[in-house]
């Protein structure tokens, strides 16, 4: 593998701030942002076959089947802009996905170089998710409590209205947290054993404070 590759996985519970850190990481390091959640939401919005198949699981806070997301990621990683590195956000979420990812990268002599685990206590996660909003125009993320826009409900950057994700309601959030504990948290040991896990503390921290730690891990690349 070329030593200058940054092949990064962002790991953390729903609401830990993966999307917010992803915005900063792609701006600083120029990596393509590969968010399976964003790709699935786009498919739902476009009403594609994939979107129709995924919608029910997403609305319930369940995971979409491994085959579906592995296929999406495989296609995206085949794009030439991932050659110097990439940022995976929300994938992998199961051990099976992690193993499939390792296998597809190994076929091309690539591997994951960094797994950034953003740790946030669970009661703080629920508060953060309840306040989360995104821009319908440019996708910028806000939090009505911790990081509000200047004018309520309006994006600072592009002026478009903000919206709340359909799966950011209390019942679905509890299920997503349980799914994280059961299916995704085992990835922490998986990547630790490979020596690529780096922990970042997100509890009670502002986005730029978390990013300082992230940049400490990823370096000056």
Catalytic residue, from 41, 76, 93, 133: name it: 93
Q: CB of 163: closest distance to ligand AMP in angstroms?
A: 14
Annotated active-site residue 165? The verdict is yes
Closer of 57 and 113 to ligand AMP (Cβ): 57
Annotated active-site residue 133? The verdict is no
**Residues at the site binding ligand AMP, with contacts judged by CB under 6 A:** 14, 36-37, 40, 57-58, 61-64, 69, 90-93, 97, 167, 176
Number of H helices, E strands in the chain: 9, 8
Please provide the DSSP assignment of 33-100 as one string: EEEHHHHHHHHHHHT-HHHHHHHHHHHHTPPPPHHHHHHHHHHHHTSGGGTTEEEEES---SHHHHHH
- How is residue 154 written in tokens? 């309006």
Q: CB of 160: closest distance to ligand AMP in angstroms?
A: 19
Closer of 179 and 210 to ligand AMP (Cβ): 179
ω into 92 cis (within 30 of 0): yes
Closer of 2 and 45 to ligand AMP (Cβ): 45
Annotated active-site residue 140? The verdict is no
Residue 157: closest CA among 177, 176, 140, 134 = 140
Annotated active-site residue 176? The verdict is yes
Catalytic residue, from 84, 165, 198, 199: name it: 165
Query: 67 with 124: CB under 8 angstroms?
Result: no
Closer of 67 and 81 to ligand AMP (Cβ): 67
Active site residues: 18, 93, 132, 165, 176
């Amino acid at each position: 593998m070329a030593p200058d590759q940054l092949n990064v996985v962002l790991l953390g519970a729903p609401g830990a701030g993966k999307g917010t850190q992803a915005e900063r990481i792609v701006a600083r390091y120029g990596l393509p942002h590969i968010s399976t959640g964003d790709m699935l939401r786009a498919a739902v919005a476009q009403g594609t076959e994939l979107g129709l198949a995924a919608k029910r699981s997403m609305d319930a806070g369940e995971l979409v089947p491994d085959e579906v997301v592995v296929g999406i990621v495989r296609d995206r990683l085949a794009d030439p802009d991932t050659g110097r590195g990439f940022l995976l956000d929300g994938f992998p979420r199961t051990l099976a996905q992690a193993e499939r990812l390792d296998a597809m990268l190994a076929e091309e002599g690539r591997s994951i170089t960094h797994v950034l685990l953003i740790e946030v206590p669970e009661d703080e996660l629920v508060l953060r998710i309840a306040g989360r909003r995104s821009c319908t125009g440019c996708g910028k993320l806000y939090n009505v409590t911790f990081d509000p826009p200047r004018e309520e409900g309006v994006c600072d950057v592009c002026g478009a209205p903000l919206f709340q994700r359909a799966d950011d309601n209390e019942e679905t959030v509890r299920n997503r947290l349980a799914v994280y504990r059961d299916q995704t948290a085992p990835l922490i040991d998986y990547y630790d054993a490979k020596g690529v896990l780096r922990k970042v503390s997100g509890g009670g921290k502002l986005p730029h404070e978390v990013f300082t730690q992230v940049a400490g891990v990823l370096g000056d690349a």
